[in-house]
A and B are shown apart, each in its own frame.
Chain A
Amino acid sequence: MADLVQVSGLSRYYGKQCAVRDVSFSLACGQVAGLLGVNGAGKTTLLQMLAGNLAPSAGRIVINGFDLLQQPIAAKRHLGYLPDTPPLYLGLTVTEFLRFCTQLQGMERLASKKAIARVLDQCGLTAVAKRLLGHLSKGYQQRVGIAQTLLHNPKVLVLDEPTVGLDPLQIREIRELIRTLGQERGIIWSTHVLTEVAALCSHVHIIHQGAFVFSDCIAHLNSRTEASALWVATAHPMNSAVLLAIPGVVAVEQLTDVRLKVHHQAALNPSLKIAETVAAAGWELLELTPVYPSIEEIFINVTGTQPL
């Protein structure tokens, strides 16, 4: 199958400062790509270029077969874009706003009505359809922002931090929505939360100082980010020396009598052995969780093991 998005050699300079440097990737139908990076890494600039809001300094973007620079209008028909701030006219109601968006897409009256009803339902906005956008909570505004990208049923969705500023319940709903939408589209979305990427992306691009430092499918990222430490908490004080003797355990950090961090070899997970040992000693296991490395640690890991 042809790729929905093909990006090659993309760069963008602001004056002398380089925001995005020689980025290439592709996105096929059914793929959800997570764009991961700390603040200022170039995520937003890259997505703005994909959405045609910024012209690249160099490189090529092809969306569903149309070159974004040569045939911008044709390419944008297949594109839904949510900027980092949802682009809402706060004086309009949800329906009025969505109607304007369908008109921008050149949809006929009947098609527009159907599309609005569909996205209101998809994004759980039916109850607030007649409310003013300015009176909606941040979560609902974000959902309207996403709804707006779906009206013309685009093949490619570009979402800039869709889960920022939402409460955990809303984040879960948005993730579920992205997962559903991604089945028949190509989605690229940015975040700085690693667990979100792990939860629903098929591919990951880690961007650091404007360049991709990691770009692969999620399974390969998992092998790099596998936990190599465990939190252990018990009801009764533990003897760290006993745990240290378990094969695979490298070091034991005692935080309190009943809570410690066990570092182990990545290849050899001693969870089961630890549980058995604790049970045998009668310390009563309360918690045994892997410690996932933070995004900074992954950056160090990824940039350290892979030459730039």
Chain B
Amino acid sequence: MKAALPIAAQELRLLFLSPLAWVILAVLQLILAYLFLNQVQIFISLQPKLLALDQAPGLTDAVVPALFGNAGIILLLVTPLLTMRSICEERRNKTLPLLLSAPVSLTELVLGKFLGVLALLGLVVVLVTLMPLALLVGGSLDFGKLFANVLALMLLVAAFAALGVYLSCISPHPAVAAVSTFGALMLLWLLGWGTALGDAPDAWLAQWSLLRHFQGLQSGLLDTANLSYFLAFCLLFLWLSVRHLAAERLPG
């Protein structure tokens, strides 16, 4: 698995060589900072009323889940742009033979690509986490809930990245990869949307929804079912990518 690291580092370098990564980081930070400040503002304006309640939601409850939920939705829009070129562009630039003829297994290749994108997304998660941490200047946080949210967002973006890398692997053009990744993620996000109303016929679909498992973790409950959903999601699409690259070499 050692060879996955240089490939990941190279992927990260290629992402930062284009202005895209920088622009995405800047725009994300700007939008999320705005949403974060809004949330803090609402909390401050409601604080006198909250004080009167027993069991009132604290600062962490008021700010963190909303911020990380928004970050999840925005990253759903942005991740396809980061993953679209990962393998697709290697093929189009004819650099894939370099990786295929090097003493590197396909698993290492796909894992490297995935980890490279994940490193950039991890940076986004770190930047998002810094915002609630800034509240420590004048307040206190529930670190357990904050950790649950960070973990939830990290697992969510890992799932986004795994699907993105797979679709980049099978797409002939980066734009195709981006659109299909976005479509697939949106669909998986919305699965079982109607079940909120109660006894809907698509209740079983909700079991597969990214949103549902994300929110499950966000609530602070580190449920094995939610954790293994994300783990299995990543493994499935990384495995499919490896399978696809292997099948490409075969006669047919």
Residues of A participating in the B interface, judged by any CB pair closer than 8 Å: 12-15, 48, 51-57, 72-74, 76-77, 79, 81, 83, 85, 87-92, 100-101, 103-106, 148
Contact = CB atoms under 8 A, between A and B. Distances in A.
Nearest to B252: A15
| Chain B interface residue bracket vs A | 20 to 34
Contact of A89 (B7, B95, B103): B95
B73 interface: no
Contacts of B94: 83, 85, 87
Interface of B: 2-3, 5-7, 9-10, 13-14, 17-18, 93-105, 249-252
A88 B95 contact: yes
A52 B100 contact: yes
Contacts, number: 78
Contact of B97 (A57, A87, A100): A87
B7 A104 contact: yes
A88 B13 CA distance: 14
Contact of A77 (B18, B99, B103, B249): B103
A105 B102 contact: yes
CB-based closest 9 A-B pairs: A103-B6, A87-B98, A81-B101, A104-B102, A85-B94, A57-B251, A83-B97, A76-B103, A87-B95
Nearest to A88: B95
Nearest to B16: A91
Nearest to B247: A55
B3 A106 contact: yes
B105 A73 contact: yes
B101 A76 contact: yes
A57 B95 CA distance: 24
A3 B166 CA distance: 40
B238 to A, nearest CB: 19
Given A101-B98, A104-B102, A148-B98, 20 more contacts: A12-B251, A14-B252, A52-B101, A56-B251, A57-B251, A72-B105, A76-B102, A76-B103, A81-B101, A83-B97, A87-B94, A88-B95, A89-B10, A89-B93, A90-B93, A100-B10, A103-B9, A103-B10, A105-B102, A106-B3
Contacts of A105: 102-103
A10 B251 CA distance: 12
B103 to A, nearest CB: 4
Contacts of B102: 76, 101, 104-105
A85 B97 CA distance: 10
Contacts of A90: 93
B14 A53 contact: no
A31 to B, nearest CB: 21
Contacts of B252: 14-15
Nearest to A152: B103
Contacts of B99: 104
Contacts of A51: 97, 100-101
A126 to B, nearest CB: 22
A53 B94 CA distance: 12
A104 B93 contact: no
Contacts of A91: 14, 17-18
A229 B7 CA distance: 57
Contact of B101 (A14, A79, A103): A79
Nearest to B251: A57
A104 B251 CA distance: 26
Nearest to A52: B101
Nearest to A79: B101
A48 to B, nearest CB: 8
Among A51, A53, A57, the most chain B Cβ lie within 10 Å of the Cβ of: A53
A252 B6 CA distance: 66
Contacts of A148: 98
A79 B252 CA distance: 26
B103 A55 contact: no
Contacts of A15: 252
B4 to A, nearest CB: 11
Nearest to B98: A87
A97 B9 CA distance: 12
Contacts of A88: 95
Contacts of A81: 97, 101
B217 to A, nearest CB: 35
A150 to B, nearest CB: 14
27 contacts: A12-B251, A14-B251, A15-B252, A51-B97, A51-B100, A53-B100, A53-B101, A55-B249, A57-B251, A72-B105, A73-B105, A74-B103, A76-B102, A76-B103, A83-B94, A83-B97, A87-B93, A87-B95, A88-B95, A91-B18, A92-B13, A103-B3, A103-B6, A104-B98, A104-B99, A106-B2, A106-B103
Contacts of A89: 10, 14, 93, 95
